[in-house]
């Protein structure tokens, strides 16, 4: 087969069925013949004989070009898919998908809305495309995502104890890592299963945290002069505070500034390379967990000092900034960007590998409004690790 057509009858017929399954509503499907691709007359004769047998039973029709007495068959058009399925011994994709989904449809807890999701998945998989982030044939992930989404809904508005991702996942589907593997799929399925409940744009981590499902808590990494339960911490580059004790963190004195840093490498470099100068430096760990946010708000409210955040200049980075900005505003603290500006992005940014997509929204009154607009307009991004740390004051 060349780039233009086929010299192998089976490949041509399989391709016609592939195209039909992707677009079953299409009435005109054809595939070109690679006239120069046959190695000898015998190959072409066998090719023509196989197609002629299918023409005779209505499976395909031949497309010919040229003068009346010199017409040449240049392509083959699909007439009756059922004939080709029988000829090739191939099961239609819709039947293969339905067979694969039997176990999901038999689930006793399957609600009408969940059944509708399965129907949409089946339709997409029959065409060979993904749906709600699930690639064709990934039945286990579909089953797990449906069950996880229902279990998340059951916790909404309840007073159940906080549970980590892996314990919740094991208790729900018997697989400790299923939730982490299918976070994106679960987020897309939730509003389909429960319309009107999970339709806002909350990131999945934040949504899960609001129903008491959290990642295993990492220690709060923080640098500066602090006390724990009234005891002054010894001088060290930074300390790791168990999340259970973040409420006991206090200030030795009013700090010169407070800085949160999104990424681990930049935090470590900052506390080791930049004089803290009486400041408090907090590792936010990307989107800050509940304990990290609690400590940040408590210390910033007590300090009443200039407060900054340093993160990636990309959609995720400005959303993290906006989340912190809104939370700090509730305790009367203004958040300022550090090494995050439209000018710096224009100077140091690079084009995103897969594009930014939709314009960033909700930043009109934010301190990073200009940066968010620049990201959306230009598609440029920048990772903070590329910059050397400097003090914000």
Instruction: Write down the residue that tokens 């006991």 correspond to.
Output: 248
Give yes or no for a contact between 148 and 230, defined as CB atoms under 8 angstroms apart.
no
Same domain, 331 and 354: yes
Assigned domain for 246 exists: yes
What was the pLDDT predicted at 2?
43
Instruction: Write down the residue that tokens 């598609």 correspond to.
Output: 379
The residues pairing with 78 across neighbouring beta strands, listed in sequence order, are 60
Measure the CA–CA gap between 361 and 352, rounded to whole angstroms. 18
CB count in 10 Å sphere of residue 118:
18
Measure the CA–CA gap between 373 and 364, rounded to whole angstroms. 9
Handedness of CA 102, 106, 107, 112 (dihedral sign): positive
By C-alpha distance, which of 287, 234, 262 is closest to 389? 262
Measure the CA–CA gap between 131 and 97, rounded to whole angstroms. 13
Measure the CA–CA gap between 221 and 298, rounded to whole angstroms. 15
Same domain, 378 and 246: yes
pLDDT tops 90 at residue 46: yes
- Residue where one domain finishes, among candidates 214, 238, 273: 214
Q: Which residue has the higher pLDDT, 198 or 69?
A: 69
Measure the CA–CA gap between 383 and 260, rounded to whole angstroms. 16
Same domain, 322 and 375: yes
By C-alpha distance, which of 288, 293, 221, 222 is closest to 251? 222
Give yes or no for a contact between 218 and 289, defined as CB atoms under 8 angstroms apart.
yes
What was the pLDDT predicted at 200?
57
Output the domain CATH number for residue 353: 3.40.1360.10
Model confidence band, residue 315 (pLDDT cutoffs 50, 70, 90): confident
Average pLDDT, the chain: 90
Distances in whole angstroms, Cα of residue 256 to Cα of each of 15, 36, 53, 262, 392: 68, 78, 86, 20, 10
Using CB atoms within 10 A of its CB, is residue 269 exposed (0-12), middle (13-18) or buried (19+)? middle
Q: What is the mean pLDDT of residues 209-217?
A: 79
pLDDT tops 50 at residue 1: no
pLDDT tens for residues 11-40?
999 999 999 999 988 888 999 999 889 999
Alpha helices (H) in 194-231, listed in sequence order: 204-210
What was the pLDDT predicted at 366?
95
pLDDT tens for residues 360-375?
788 989 999 999 999 9
Assigned domain for 269 exists: yes
Instruction: Write down the residue that tokens 């009486």 correspond to.
Output: 278
Model confidence band, residue 199 (pLDDT cutoffs 50, 70, 90): low
Q: Which two tokens stand for residue 372?
A: 């968010």
Q: What is the mean pLDDT of residues 127-134?
A: 93
Assigned domain for 3 exists: no
Measure the CA–CA gap between 345 and 250, rounded to whole angstroms. 36
pLDDT tens for residues 107-117?
888 889 999 99
Same domain, 269 and 238: yes
Same domain, 333 and 353: yes
Give yes or no for a contact between 261 and 270, defined as CB atoms under 8 angstroms apart.
yes
Same domain, 84 and 110: no
- Residue where one domain finishes, among candidates 182, 214, 246: 214
Assigned domain for 250 exists: yes
pTM of structure: 0.58
Assigned domain for 2 exists: no
Beta strands in 24-83 (DSSP E): 30-32, 60-65, 72-78
Q: Which two tokens stand for residue 283?
A: 């590792």
**The total number of structural domains that make up the chain:** 3
Assigned domain for 1 exists: no
The SS3 call for residue 98 is helix
Same domain, 243 and 336: yes
Q: What is the mean pLDDT of residues 372-390?
A: 93
- Residue where one domain finishes, among candidates 70, 88, 106: 88
For 56-95, letters b (16+ CB in 10 Å) and e give: eeebbbbeeeeeeeeeebbbbebbebebbbebeeeebbee
Instruction: Give the range of the structural domain holding residue 24, as residue numbers without chain letter.
Output: 9-88
What was the pLDDT predicted at 34?
93
Measure the CA–CA gap between 381 and 366, rounded to whole angstroms. 18
């Amino acid at each position: 087969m060349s780039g233009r057509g086929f010299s192998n009858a089976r490949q041509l017929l399989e391709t016609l069925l592939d195209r039909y399954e992707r677009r079953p509503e299409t009435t005109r499907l054809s595939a070109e013949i690679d006239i120069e691709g046959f190695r000898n007359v015998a190959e072409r004769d066998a090719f023509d004989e196989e197609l002629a047998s299918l023409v005779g039973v209505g499976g395909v029709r031949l497309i010919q070009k040229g003068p009346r007495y010199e017409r040449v068959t240049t392509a083959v058009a699909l007439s009756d898919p059922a004939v080709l399925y029988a000829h090739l011994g191939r099961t239609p994709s819709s039947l293969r998908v339905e067979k694969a989904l039997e176990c999901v449809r038999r689930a006793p807890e399957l609600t009408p809305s969940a059944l509708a999701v399965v129907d949409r998945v089946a339709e997409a998989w029959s065409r060979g495309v993904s749906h709600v982030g699930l690639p064709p044939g990934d039945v286990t992930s579909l089953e797990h995502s449906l069950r996880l989404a229902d279990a998340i809904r059951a916790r909404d508005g309840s007073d159940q104890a906080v549970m980590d991702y892996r314990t919740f996942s094991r208790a729900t589907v018997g697989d400790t890592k299923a939730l982490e593997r299918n976070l994106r799929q679960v987020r897309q399925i939730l509003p389909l299963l429960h319309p009107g409940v999970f339709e806002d744009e909350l990131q999945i981590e934040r949504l899960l945290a609001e129903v008491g499902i959290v990642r295993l808590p990492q220690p709060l990494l923080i640098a500066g002069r602090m006390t724990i339960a009234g005891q002054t911490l010894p001088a060290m580059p930074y300390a790791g505070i168990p999340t259970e004790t973040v409420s006991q963190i206090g200030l030795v004195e009013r700090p010169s500034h407070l800085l949160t840093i999104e990424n681990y490498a930049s935090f470590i470099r900052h506390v080791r390379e930049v004089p803290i100068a009486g400041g408090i430096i907090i590792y936010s760990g990307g989107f800050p967990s509940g304990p990290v946010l609690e400590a940040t708000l408590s210390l910033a409210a007590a300090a009443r000092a200039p407060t900054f955040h340093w993160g990636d200049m990309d959609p995720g980075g400005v959303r993290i900034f906006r989340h912190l900005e809104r939370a700090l505003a509730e305790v009367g603290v203004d958040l300022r960007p550090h090494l995050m500006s439209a000018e710096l992005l224009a100077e140091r940014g690079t084009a995103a590998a897969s594009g930014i997509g939709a314009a960033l929204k909700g930043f009109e009154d934010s301190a990073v409004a200009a940066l968010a607009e620049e990201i959306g307009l230009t598609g440029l991004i920048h990772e903070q690790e590329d910059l050397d740390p400097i003090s914000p004051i």
